[in-house]
Homo-oligomer: A and B are copies of this chain.
Amino acid sequence: MAAYSSMDKNTLNEEYNKLSQAYEAYKAQGLSLNMARGKPCSQQLDISNDILNALTPETDFKAPDCPDCRNYGNLDGIDAAKKLFGDIFGVDKKNVFVGGNSSLNMMFDTIACMMELGANGENPWNQQPDRKFLCPVPGYDRHFGVTEYFGFEMITVPMTPDGPDMDVVEKLVSEDASIKGIWCVPKYSNPTGITFSDETVRRFAALKPAAKDFRIMWDNAYIIHDINDTPDKLLNIFDEAAKYGNEDLIFEFCSTSKITFPGAGVAAMAASENNLKLVKRRYNFQTIGYDKTNMLRHVAYFKDLDGVLDHMQKQRAILEPRFKMVTDTLEKELSGLDVACWTNPNGGYFVSVDVLEGCAKRVVSLCKEAGVVLTGAGATYPYGKDPKDSNIRIAPTYPPVNELEKAMDIFCICVKLAAIEKICK
């Protein structure tokens, strides 16, 4: 099909009427479909159910570094869990802190720690009222929420297919000491699905921030979350940072939320000795320790990194057809019309669609009326404000494939309707 922009008004009107009929027909079905949040589906959770048998009343709860994993203690986790996460991160276990069920909470606590204690001899961030944080866009709404909560002015940086625009990042960070950090999802980025190129990682590792207390929040949420045979490779940022003595710049995070259970996984952080010492100054007052039985449960279930990677193949088997359904439908329905572009990721949890400028809200609202819930337009930008009103995040993981098919059909109809409305206005 030809680009809408090249069609005359009459042809577009005809197309609009045809689309409207299809839209109304869907609406009449009273559907309730959800592509809003990056939530695993029940099938994905079922494949981890045996983890509930990993600990039994007969389990020996001893660990080399813990006389009884049921009891208090081990602020930064048990050694076996540090080893497992160290292998996932590609860092030594001595650089790992294993925590509770939420890496978001761990990131929140890390920012809170810098707010209260500061770093590198600088004042705590809460005593630096003019504090700013870099937010690559489109990005993850909950990241932006944390820095909004803590009173940062959020500065957007455009995402490219290679990661955040590093020319912009380097310029801002080297010139402005009030910029205290940057949010990154370096692999299968939320929502664009791209993975930072080797050059991007190297430039992050070599950053020379004006602020001595600048930190990179390296949220490696999808570190082993491949969905096809051509997975992306991400350079290990700690290896690169070591070349510049820049290890203190980085806090890296991941969790098993999208490996085992979203609500009952284990979160972990990789950081330099200095940074671990810093966060422990706060954790030491905050808690006696996190749930070590759940750490033990995960270690007993997976045994080692190979066990985790095998498990991820089962996740992939469920996710691959869903992502394929989404991108195939986009290709089939929207290709050549010049009304949208989208990503085709090799992993992660999202497909990112850019519709015509000024159309995202309209698409989301049309979808909603027809029973298809999408992530709110703008959610991928700080303060929920997409200046071009064009980005929409699609989360293909939760609905079953047949629902996804219907939802994507409706979505494409709405994208086209909104585009024609815009062109003919």
Chain A contact residues, CB within 8 Å of chain B = 37, 39-40, 42, 45, 48-50, 52-53, 55-59, 61, 68-74, 100-102, 104-105, 108-109, 112, 116, 126, 142, 145-146, 148-150, 257, 261-264, 282, 285-294
Contacts and interface: CB of A to CB of B under 8 A. Distances in A.
Given A39-B71, A48-B70, 12 more contacts: A49-B58, A52-B59, A69-B263, A71-B263, A72-B257, A72-B262, A102-B287, A108-B287, A112-B112, A263-B289, A263-B292, A263-B293
26 contacts: A37-B72, A45-B61, A45-B70, A50-B57, A52-B55, A52-B56, A70-B261, A70-B264, A71-B261, A72-B257, A74-B263, A100-B291, A101-B290, A102-B289, A102-B290, A104-B286, A104-B287, A104-B288, A108-B285, A116-B149, A142-B288, A149-B282, A263-B288, A264-B291, A264-B292, A291-B291
Contacts of A109: 286
A146 B45 contact: no
Nearest to A258: B72
Contacts of A71: 39-40, 42, 45, 261-263
A135 to B, nearest CB: 15
A57 B68 contact: no
B285 A70 contact: no
Question: Which of A70, A73, A261, A292 has most chain B Cβ within 10 Å?
Answer: A70
Contact of A286 (B53, B58, B72, B108): B108
A123 to B, nearest CB: 13
Contacts of A42: 68, 71
A150 to B, nearest CB: 8
Contacts of A50: 57
